[in-house]
């Protein structure tokens, strides 16, 4: 309004976000005159709002309405007329050398980690990680910000390798990490409402790198699932410039942010076409699909009618968007007992029987995950936002595997009648 | 020197500045585009630095002040109370209350044109 329409403007933002918008002024090069009422203004009585308006701005101590008047009538100062956007300085490639102990402390105290120990990204380790792709270390991969408005930070293949090392990855995981980087999507968006993210891998790469799509696929029982999911968060912290209270404002947060529900789809046991094929990709392509939402409900059990009852009880940030993670037993039952040969038919039925704002079956998705221990499903209010193809990041010679790839114990199978009992 | 005191070099994990900022979404952006980086990075620091603030009014008396609700929780109620305050304490200031039609993130050129045509100043609120 100020620049495009020549209209004096008084923006009002609650005092809780004064620091946030002050930074926004600097990054956007306009010295907007904010007025700050106390926080919160949502879900408070009218009398409280009246009190805010009759009272002082808690940041400046000036009466609130006087401040609004000043914002619109006080002549612009020279500083306000010539305010410039501020760009950050370029960063050095290497940090100052120090002892291992001090460097671990440095990473932790600078907020460059998720609070768990990391693998320090030495040049040797990063060089080894770079063998996991044919792409040049200095190739631009993408830009990211956990906010919607602040400066995007850009990153190269080498920067992604730094993140992969920190997360504990091996070169075999690196193509998936690069695909996550290519997405430009942070797993930790700067919303006060505590978003969670989810990533699901499809295609041949799942088994090549030992991802888990079966028993306990969402639990910490698989190396690849653990480190790849963690890498997305470390990427969001360091490339997305995630700083708690400053750029990251999730009020309660969520433990899902640690690993982002990283898993693969159980294509082998699914009676349906793989998720990525249903989204238009080829079966032989490897992809990573990214989701975001608020709520995850486990303990779902029962036929499609029960699914309908559950989603009717949920709201979610994107009204009418849901992603079900179904054990293969559920998917088989939906197909064999209820006749849903294509999960889109089930999506259409569910959408038809709900009253959500957006009635689009494409926004109601099914992914088959699990070890056939129990016919249960997980309900999420997650939207599918993006699918990225992993293959362009895979070396021409194929996935770079260690001579003896690192793997956690496989779930004990039932094939020989032992059914989970270790003999 | 023992291993504990040996210094080692490691790479900086933080991304580099791009000079690209997100700013606002077009009115015709797809639903939930705010969550899609494709629609965000569109402004450079150079472009942003050329933006200018408008000249201020000499007074609000006799002027038309648009109060525009952003869509965040409590915004509408807050601006209604602000409008009540002006009616009671500054009757010489005409206020027009509007709420954004879509969301807090999208551009709404038709509303901006209306304000430009009929108004003298704008209060936007409430963020956060």
Partner-chain contact B22 A149, CB within 8 Å: yes
B4 → closest Cβ in A91, A99, A107: A99
Percent share of chain A, pLDDT over 70: 96
Look at residue A421 and tell me whether its pLDDT is greater than 60: no
Separation in Å, CA A404 to CA A170, A247, A401, A407: 12, 41, 8, 9
Task: Indicate yes or no: CB of B57 within 8 angstroms of CB of A8.
Answer: yes
Report chain B residues whose CB lies below 8 A from the CB of A189. Answer: 35
Task: Report d(CA A287, CA A276) in Å as an integer.
Answer: 7
CA distance A260 to chain B (A): 16
Average pLDDT in chain B: 85
Q: Is the pLDDT of residue A12 over 80?
A: yes
**What's the gap in Å between the CA of B28 and the closest CA on chain A?**
17
The residue behind tokens 């956690």 is A408
Higher per-residue pLDDT: A168 or B106: A168
pLDDT grade for B39, boundaries at 50, 70 and 90: low
- Shortest Cα distance from B49 to chain A (angstroms)? 5
Q: Which residues of chain A does B23 touch, with a Cβ-Cβ cutoff of 8 Å?
A: 28, 149
Digit-coded pLDDT (tens) for B16-35:
998 888 756 666 666 566 66
pLDDT, position B41: 56
CA A124 to chain CA mean position, Å: 29
Q: Which pLDDT belongs to residue B27? A: 62
Q: Specify whether the CB–CB gap between A225 and A199 falls below 8 A.
A: no
- Which one has a higher pLDDT value, A421 or B9? B9
- B positions 38-97 inside 8 Å of A (CB): 38, 40-41, 43, 45-46, 48-49, 51-60, 65, 72-75, 77-78, 81-82, 84-85, 89
Q: What is the pLDDT of residues A134-174, one digit of tens each?
A: 999 999 999 999 987 788 899 999 999 999 999 999 999 99
A61-75, B55-69, B95-109: the lowest-pLDDT one: B95-109
Which residues of chain B have a CB within 8 Å of the CB of A148? 22, 34, 40, 105
What is the structure's pLDDT at A143? 92
Lowest mean pLDDT, pick from A66-70, A154-158, A352-356, B51-55: A352-356
Find out whether A364 and A321 touch, Cβ atoms under 8 Å: yes
ipTM above 0.90, yes or no: no
Of A112, A185, A383, the CB nearest to B13: A112
Report for A250-254, B35-39, B101-105: range of highest mean pLDDT: A250-254
The residues near A108 (Cβ < 8 Å, ≥ 6 apart) are: A115
CA distances (Å), origin A348, targets A184, A344, A353, A358, B18: 31, 6, 9, 12, 43
CA angle A288–A225–A256, rounded 5-degree value: 85
Q: Which residue of B has its CA nearest to A96?
A: B9
Query: Cβ of A41 and B74 within 8 Å?
Result: yes
pLDDT of A244-280, one tens digit each?
Answer: 988 898 889 999 999 999 999 999 999 999 999 999 9
Q: How confident is the model over A360-367, as a mean pLDDT?
A: 92
Highest mean pLDDT (candidates A20-34, A308-322, A323-337, B103-117) = A323-337
Nearest CA in chain B to A162: B13
SS3 state of residue B115: helix
What confidence category does residue A82 fall into, taking pLDDT thresholds of 50, 70 and 90?
A: confident
Query: Do A228 and A178 contact (CB within 8 A), yes or no?
Result: no
């Amino acid at each position: 309004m100020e620049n495009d329409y020549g209209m004096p403007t008084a923006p009002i933002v609650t005092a809780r976000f004064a620091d946030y918008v002050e930074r926004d002024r600097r990054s956007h090069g306009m010295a907007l005159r904010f007025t700050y009422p106390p926080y919160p203004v949502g879900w408070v009585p009218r009398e409280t709002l009246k009190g805010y308006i009759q009272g002082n701005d808690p940041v400046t101590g000036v009466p609130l309405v006087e401040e609004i008047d000043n914002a619109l009538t006080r002549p612009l100062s020279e500083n306000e007329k010539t305010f410039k956007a501020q760009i950050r300085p370029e960063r050095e490639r290497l940090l100052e050398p120090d002892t291992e102990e001090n460097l671990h402390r440095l990473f932790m105290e600078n907020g460059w980690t998720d609070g768990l120990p990391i693998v320090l990204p030495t040049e040797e380790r990063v060089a080894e990680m770079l063998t996991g792709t044919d792409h040049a270390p200095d190739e631009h991969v993408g830009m990211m910000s956990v906010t919607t408005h602040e400066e995007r930070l850009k990153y190269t293949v080498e920067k992604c390798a730094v993140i992969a090392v920190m997360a504990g990855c091996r070169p075999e995981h690196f193509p998936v990490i690069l695909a996550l980087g290519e997405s430009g999507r942070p797993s930790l968006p700067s919303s006060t409402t505590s978003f969670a993210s989810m990533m699901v891998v499809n295609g041949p790469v799942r088994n090549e790198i030992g991802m888990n799509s079966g028993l306990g696929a969402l639990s910490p029982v698989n190396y690849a699932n653990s480190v790849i999911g963690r890498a997305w968060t470390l990427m969001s912290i360091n490339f997305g410039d995630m700083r708690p209270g400053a750029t990251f404002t999730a009020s309660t947060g969520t433990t899902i942010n640690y690993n982002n529900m990283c898993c693969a789809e159980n294509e082998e046991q699914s009676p349906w076409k793989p998720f990525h094929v249903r989204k238009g990709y080829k079966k032989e392509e490897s992809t990573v699909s990214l989701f975001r939402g608020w709520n995850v409900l486990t303990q779902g059990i029962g036929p499609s009618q029960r699914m309908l009852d559950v989603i009717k009880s949920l709201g979610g940030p994107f009204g009418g968007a849901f992603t079900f993670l179904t054990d293969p037993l559920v998917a088989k039952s939906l197909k064999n007992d209820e006749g849903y040969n294509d999960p889109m038919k089930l999506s259409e039925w569910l959408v038809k029987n709900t009253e959500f704002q957006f009635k689009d079956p494409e926004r109601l998705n099914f992914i088959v995950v699990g070890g056939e221990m129990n016919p249960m499903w997980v309900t999420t209010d997650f939207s599918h936002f993006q699918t990225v193809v992993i293959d362009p990041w895979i070396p021409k010679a194929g996935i770079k595997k260690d001579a003896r790839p690192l793997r956690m114990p496989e779930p004990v199978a039932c094939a020989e009648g032992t059914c989970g009992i270790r003999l | 020197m023992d291993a504990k005191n040996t210094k080692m070099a490691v790479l900086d994990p933080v991304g580099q500045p791009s000079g690209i900022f997100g700013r606002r979404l077009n009115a015709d952006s797809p639903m939930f585009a705010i969550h899609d980086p494709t629609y965000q990075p569109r402004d450079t620091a150079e472009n942003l630095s050329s933006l200018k603030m408008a000249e201020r009014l000499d007074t609000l008396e006799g002027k038309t002040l648009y109060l525009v609700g952003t869509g965040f929780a409590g915004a509408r109620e807050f601006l209604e109370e602000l409008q009540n305050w002006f009616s009671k304490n500054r009757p010489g200031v005409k206020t027009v209350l509007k709420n954004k039609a879509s969301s807090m993130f999208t551009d709404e050129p038709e509303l901006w044109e209306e304000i430009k045509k009929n108004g003298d100043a704008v209060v936007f609120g409430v963020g956060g």
